[in-house]
Amino acid sequence: MDRPSLTIKTRVGTVRATASPRQGDSVVFELGGAMRGSVHVTGTHHPHHWDQFTAVRACLGPVNAFQTTAPGDALPRLARSRTGYRGSLTLYRDDADRPEVTVYPMQSAAEHDPSEKTAAVLTAVMRACAEHIAQRDDLPEILDASRQRDTPALLRFLTWSAAHHQAEAARYEREARAAHPARRAAVTGWWTVA
């Protein structure tokens, strides 16, 4: 089977990213050249529409960073560096059908922020891998598998969130009712003084 390979020009040199065969809802790119390691790309929900699985997420490392953490020695690093980095980005289309990218914080395995130059390289590599997946013929299958994977957790979160906010609303209502006599007394006192 042909393994697609990307050539990504970056500020530190050329990075080659070779796609592995799709595994259900994801593709892992092996990196070579100016960067070593891998990038995990999967489908995800649109950042503004939790129920629409139309976005692509790229994570530094061989695993989905939203499900598990890659060990420090498996994190991507620049070819002449020993420092591996964690981070991810989401590629999606806005309401005008233009591509948008949201980059999530990147940190080294030791929890240090990358330099501006390193962050630019990591972002460029993740974006190129995500854009490649967004153009693939099997994108609908990737997105559908991602929807099946993530929907139960999203529904649990929404159920918890709805219950939490209903409890907060009930608490505010109780506090407002408890404050009502004090408000009435304050208004009466103000009119008496006036």
pLDDT given for residue 117 in this prediction = 94
d(CA 129, CA 27): 9
Question: How many other CB atoms sit within 10 Å of the CB of residue 58?
Answer: 30
pTM: 0.79
Residues (pLDDT < 70) of the chain are 1-2
Instruction: Return the SS3 of 148.
Output: helix
Residue entry with tokens 């692509």 = 56
pLDDT of residue 57: 95
- In this prediction, residue 2 carries a pLDDT of 62
pLDDT of residue 181: 86
Residues 6+ apart with CB under 8 A from 113: 105, 106, 107, 119
Task: Report which DSSP code applies to 16.
Answer: E
Q: How confident is the model at residue 143, as a pLDDT?
A: 93
CA distance 189 to 183: 10
pLDDT of residue 92: 95
Per-position b or e across 111-144, b if 16+ CB within 10 A of its CB: eeebeeebbebbbbbbbbbbbbbbebeeeeebbe
* Rounded CA separation 21/157 (Å): 32
Q: Residue 130 to residues 15, 157, 173: CA-CA distances in angstroms?
A: 15, 26, 46
